[in-house]
Amino acid sequence: MDIKQRITEANEEVVRRLTSGLPVLVDIAPAGEVIPGMEGKMITHSGPPIEWSRMCGAQQGSVIGSVIYEGWAETPEDARALLDGGEIHLEPNHSHSTVGPMAGTISPSAPVWVVENRTFGNRAFCRQVEPRQQFGDYSPDALDGLRRWRDLFAPTLREALLHLGGVELDPIIIQALQMGDELHNRHSASSSLFANQMAIGIAKAGVPLDRALPTLGHLAGHNLLFLGLAMAAGKAITDPARGVESSSVVIAMCRNGTEFGIQVSGLGDEWFVAPAPVVEGLYLPGFTSSDAGLDMGDSAITETVGWGGFALGGAPGILALVGGTPEDALGYTREMRGITTAKHPTHRMPALGFEGTSVGIDIRKVVQTDVSPIIDTAIAHREAGHPIIGAGMVRAPMECFKGALRAFGRRYTP
Amino acid sequence: MTEPIDDLLRGPLVIVNLGLRGFAESLEAQADDVVQVDWLPPAGGDAEMIDLLDKLL
C-alpha cells in the first residue's frame, strides 16, 4: 500500500475515534486527587511546554495567583521568588490528560471537572472557567473566587453529580449546537441545559438551602459555565485518537501566550510551535489593542474537535463578543470544510442545512490550501494582574503546520 | 478555406484568466468578457511544501 493510501486509511480511523467518543461528567474533584502525575508543588498550564521565565505576563500572573491560593507564598513578591528559584514545578496540561482555559493554571487543591469517554474508557480534566485568575489577575478578590469554587460550588455540585450518577455531555452538546452555541465562547444554551440537570441533582440530593441557593445562583449566572466541560469533553474525545500510525490529523492545538503549538496523531507527542499570534478583537471599556497579550489557552481543543470557530456559522450571537458579520461566520465555517476530513454525524448546525461540524484537521490540507484553522477566543492583558480585557478571532500560525508536515515527510517518506 | 482558429477569433471572445487578476482587469477595461478562475498556487507557492505534498497528498 502506498503512503497516500495509508494516510487516508489512518485518517479515517482517527475520525472514527473522534466522532464516536461519548463524554460523561463523572466527578468534580481536587486536581491533586485525580490528575495523573499531579504531585507536590506542581502547577499545570495551558499551551505547549514553557519555562517560567518565558511565560507571558498574564500566564505569570495566573501562576502567581495559584501559588498564593495554594498557600505556598503569602505575597506576589514571595511567589515570584519561589518561581524564580525553580521551586514550583510547571508542566503543560496536555501532558496530564488535562486542559485549561486562557493561562490554564491548575494547582493541586483546585477542583476540576472529570470527564470520562465512555467509548474508550479514558478520562480528561479541566479547571473551572472564571473571568479573573485564569487571565492573570492575582488580586485578593480574584483568589476569593477560586476559594468559593473550592469550598462551596464544587463540593455542592459534586454532591449533586454523584447523586445523579454522572451527566452525559453529548446530548447537551448536540442540543446546544442547535440552539446557537458554537461551544467555545458562546455557551448560553449549553450552560443552561447543564444547569437544569444540576438543579435537579441538587434538589434530589437534599443539599441544604445555605449551599443550594448560592450554587444555583452560580449556575444561573455563569454564561461560560459549560466551557470547562466542553474543553474536558474535547480532550477526552481527542486523546484516544493519538498515536495512529500514518495519520496526518491534528489532535491538539493550544497556546501559552508565547507560543502556539499543535500535535499530530501520527507524530507522537512532538509539539510543532510558532510564535503566538495577535488576536483581532473587541475590547472591554478602558482597554485597547495596545494592552493585549498574544493568543493564549487550551480552549482551542474545541476547534480541534470541530466546535468554536469551525461552528461559528451556526452561532451568529457570538459575533457581539468577537466582531464580524453573519456572512463572515458562515464563510469561516465553510472554509474549514477544505482543511478537514469529515462531517460529524450528530453534531449538526441548523443554519448550514443541519450539516455536521467539520472534524479531523489534516495538516496536508492546511498547507496545501494555505488556510489555517480559525479560532474565536478571549483576550488577556499583556501584563500580569488583570482580568479579561476582550475577545476576538485568530488564525493558527501556518508555520506550525509546515513544521509538522516536514516532520511527517521525514518519518513517512523514504 | 478558413481555419477554425479564424472563426474563433472573428466572433465575440470569452476569455478565461488563471492567475494574476490584473490580466483579467485590463481585458475587462477593453470591454472583453473575462472569467477569473478562483485559483491560488498550492501551499502559497512554497516549493518545499509543494514537493512534500506531491508525495503525501
Q: Could you tell me the three cell numbers for A2?
A: 502506498
* pLDDT recorded at residue A268: 97
Percentage of residues in chain A with pLDDT exceeding 70?
100
What lies within 8 Å, CB to CB, of A35 at 6+ separation is A44, A96, A97, A98, A106, A112, A125
- pLDDT at residue B1 greater than cutoff 70: no
Residue A43 inside a domain? The answer is: yes
> A252 and A180, same structural domain?
no
| Residue in B52, B53, B54 to test binding to A, most A beta-carbons within 10 Å | B52
> A282 and A225, same structural domain?
no
Residue A237 inside a domain? The answer is: no
* pLDDT recorded at residue A295: 98
Distances (CA, A) of A263 to A93, A187, A253, A358, B28: 13, 26, 7, 18, 47
- For position A364, which CATH number holds? 3.90.1700.10
Residue A263 inside a domain? The answer is: yes
Q: What is the mean pLDDT of chain A?
A: 97
ipTM: 0.90
What lies within 8 Å, CB to CB, of A389 at 6+ separation is A135, A283, A284, A287, A291, A292, A379, A380, A381
Residues of chain A whose C-beta is under 8 A from some C-beta in B? 3-4, 7, 248, 364-365, 367-370, 402, 405-406, 408-409, 412-413
* pLDDT recorded at residue A333: 97
Domain ranges, ordered by start, for chain B: 4-56
Domain with A392, as residue range(s), is 242-412
> A297 and A158, same structural domain?
no
> A277 and A192, same structural domain?
no
CB atoms within 10 A of CB A370: 17
| Residue in B38, B40, B46, B49 to test binding to A, most A beta-carbons within 10 Å | B49
Q: Per residue in A319-355, pLDDT tens?
A: 888 888 999 999 999 999 999 999 999 999 999 999 9
Q: Which residues of chain A have pLDDT under 50?
A: none
Interchain CB distance below 8 Å, A3 and B56: yes
- For position A51, which CATH number holds? 3.90.1710.10
Number of domains in chain A: 2
Residue of chain B with shortest Cα separation from A401: B49
Which of these, A26, A2, A9, A346, lies nearest to A174 by C-alpha position? A346
> A227 and A298, same structural domain?
no
Residue after which a domain boundary falls, among A186, A212, A232: A232
Residues of chain A in contact with residue B40, where contact means CB-CB under 8 angstroms, are 370
* pLDDT recorded at residue A92: 98
Residue A201 inside a domain? The answer is: yes
Residue A101 inside a domain? The answer is: yes
Q: Could you tell me the three cell numbers for A37?
A: 502525575
> A261 and A201, same structural domain?
no
| Residue in A248, A267, A367, A399 to test binding to B, most B beta-carbons within 10 Å | A367
> A300 and A206, same structural domain?
no
Smallest CA–CA separation between A281 and chain B, in Å?
A: 26
Residue A300 inside a domain? The answer is: yes
